[in-house]
Chain A
């Protein structure tokens, strides 16, 4: 009884104190970050590693655990706490909340390329240039390096890349006598032929995926988003975009796409049984296929992404890097860890062995890597195709400084065209309108 009573009293006092602070806290909205500002040089990083300390690292990459372990072996003074705070948008939500709250963000955080501008804009990421990490430029492919440089600041280091390629199910193609398409026109024809031959089979599954759509526009030469500080330009009807919709509309309006949502259990099933015959997707896909669609071993091959006019050109799809947050109490140490994570051969080896596709040019050009014969892909040297794609990525692409939001409403807008089997251009126009409105509401000056 007395225990209960004292428990009550304890609860009371805790709760009363909490309520008091809570009321106070409620009145002030937390913005900006705690911690210290960046400042220092490359030698600071070595000193920080020597001195050691504790870091928190948010990542959902499967290789993160082994990488952290290897790092702690190499630098026993540093203690890295790895937290899987959720996969992509879930993590960004938590990061956003922590930034808004002014505390709770990790020292180092995984962010995909498309989301980096958004966090850079809110001034939440440390400029790694101050630690001399700008010298690493030569180590990374041009497109990934471009993605971590926002507004003249180096806000992260690339970890992986996703140059796009055509993954196709050779067994299905052979069965129906379909040739590997080299152009998008051939791809559309293949879609028609395949679906006509077996109505249960589709050339690919696409229910409207913002990452895929933007990558396809990228490849077609569209540059719908431009951002210079808070001046934003959005043009989702530019020539490149229309080139893509010209092709893809034929599939959408012709009912030639499987309606299976990407990454669902049914989607994996479709990849395994041949009902989804191709994927145009980033170079990180082989690892996913091998581990998650084991039954289809030997069926799949990789070919260059189809083009519009025969000139090889590719785009990036997915991929990302890591950044140091401004809330970090020890940004030098965090930057040092990041440097090791994304440039030390020991770390990259761990990353590659987990099925990742590198952003580092040394690995992209490494003969051992390029000539690796993949058993899953019937002995094909898939990295020949994929590394070439990496070189063919067209330049000059940028994402919106609010791309995470933009992607979240893709289904509301462009997705409706997918669902109704109508003109994608209409959907893109709606998307554009909402993005312009949002940007203006948020204080950007947006041009169409």
Chain B
């Protein structure tokens, strides 16, 4: 329910692309009165739990964000004061800027790698395709806690693998925990965890491209690169949009990786390193539940808006 596990939990809407849009609504041919409550009966269990674990906390957070409770002096309604305070909060904006930067760099790199891997595996030019597919996908099965633990050991510039490499190079060039590298180090962990997952999304979208398209391409004398740019990439557009949206949500919710890595780089990774860490520390270290709820709501709105914009752009391209 946090961070980059969100795309994991939600991501793979695979698929495909293109042609003949067909919305689920069309699947329903003969609406009937009595299916009204029957449909609801199917959906109700999900909705009830959803109400409890998602909607109720969101509503509660909105409520909290309009109040201010002090350690000394009790609780008071403050209207939008918490929001105003947050908009003037340099620590919040610093974290926000950091995840934005992270998003702009890490997401394209990760999705680019995933795309290359998917195209390579789909190209039928590889030996042992099955092995590649599973090997690249495996890190996705590793819990974030374990992944960070492993990379933390590897990054260690005193005794870790980084130190070994430094010794070998006779320098101290590799410092994964230094201020200027820490975001790269975190990006690497996230990429490692999710590249295979996204690769699989793209791969399964590629697999359903109708063969007649390839046959037509061959008749036209198109080379492999032409096939990629002319057939495969357009076919992947839908999958790319979806993967991007969920990666954006994951980036904005970045938490587990920096938070666990913090014990190894305590001064570099601050308590407000990402907005989500800020929200966490506001409530759990500072008991500033109201400010924390405000961060949650603001980030939720930001994330939704940006996801929406990406989706709009994505769909516009598609119409072209």
Contacts and interface: CB of A to CB of B under 8 A. Distances in A.
Interface stretch (A324-332, A372-380, A413-421): A413-421
B153 interface: yes
Contacts of A8: 45
26 contacts: A8-B45, A12-B45, A12-B48, A15-B45, A15-B49, A15-B52, A19-B56, A22-B56, A26-B57, A27-B63, A89-B285, A121-B71, A208-B267, A261-B265, A265-B153, A265-B156, A266-B159, A266-B160, A408-B281, A411-B266, A411-B267, A411-B270, A419-B267, A438-B286, A444-B71, A444-B72
Nearest to B281: A408
Contacts of B56: 19, 22-23, 26
A405 B72 contact: no
B285 A408 contact: yes
Interface in A381-430: 401-402, 404-405, 408-409, 411-412, 415-416, 418-419
Contacts of B289: 100
A418 B267 contact: yes
B51 A19 contact: yes
Contacts of A263: 263
Interface in A61-116: 89, 93, 96-97, 100
A269 B163 CA distance: 13
Listed from nearest, the 4 A-B pairs whose CB atoms lie closest are A415-B267, A443-B72, A443-B73, A443-B70
B158 A443 contact: no
A336 B44 CA distance: 51
A207 interface: yes
Contacts of B209: none
A269 B45 contact: no
B251 interface: no
B59 A411 contact: no
A12 B286 contact: no
Interface string A18-35: 110011001101000000
Given A401-B71, A419-B267, A442-B287, 6 more contacts: A11-B45, A22-B52, A89-B285, A258-B158, A260-B158, A402-B71
Interface in B287-308: 287-289
Interface string B34-51: 000000000011001101
B10 interface: no
Interface string B7-36: 000000000000000000000000000000
Given A269-B159, A405-B286, A442 B71 contact: yes
A122 interface: yes
Interface of B: 44-45, 48-49, 51-52, 56-57, 59-60, 63, 69-73, 75, 153, 156, 158-160, 179, 263-268, 270-272, 281, 284-289
B2 to A, nearest CB: 16
B270 A412 contact: yes
B60 A415 contact: no
Given A15-B45, A270-B158, A96 B284 contact: yes
A270 B52 CA distance: 49
Contacts of A208: 266-267
Contacts of A270: 158
A261 B263 contact: yes
B266 A269 contact: no
A269 B284 contact: no
Contacts of B73: 442-443
Given A15-B45, A15-B52, A18-B52, A264 B71 contact: no
Given A26-B56, A441-B70, A442-B71, A269 B267 contact: no
Contacts of A29: 69, 75
Contacts of A230: 72
A417 B255 CA distance: 25
Contacts of A27: 63
A117 B282 CA distance: 19
Contacts of B285: 89, 93, 404-405, 408-409
A19 B48 CA distance: 7
A27 B70 CA distance: 18
Contacts of B72: 121, 230, 442-444
A16 interface: yes
Nearest to B52: A19
A263 B266 CA distance: 12
Interface in A139-163: none
Contacts of A26: 56-57, 59-60, 63
A162 to B, nearest CB: 21
Contacts of B264: 261, 264
Contacts of B51: 19
A239 B205 CA distance: 69
B267 A207 contact: yes
Contacts of A419: 179, 267-268
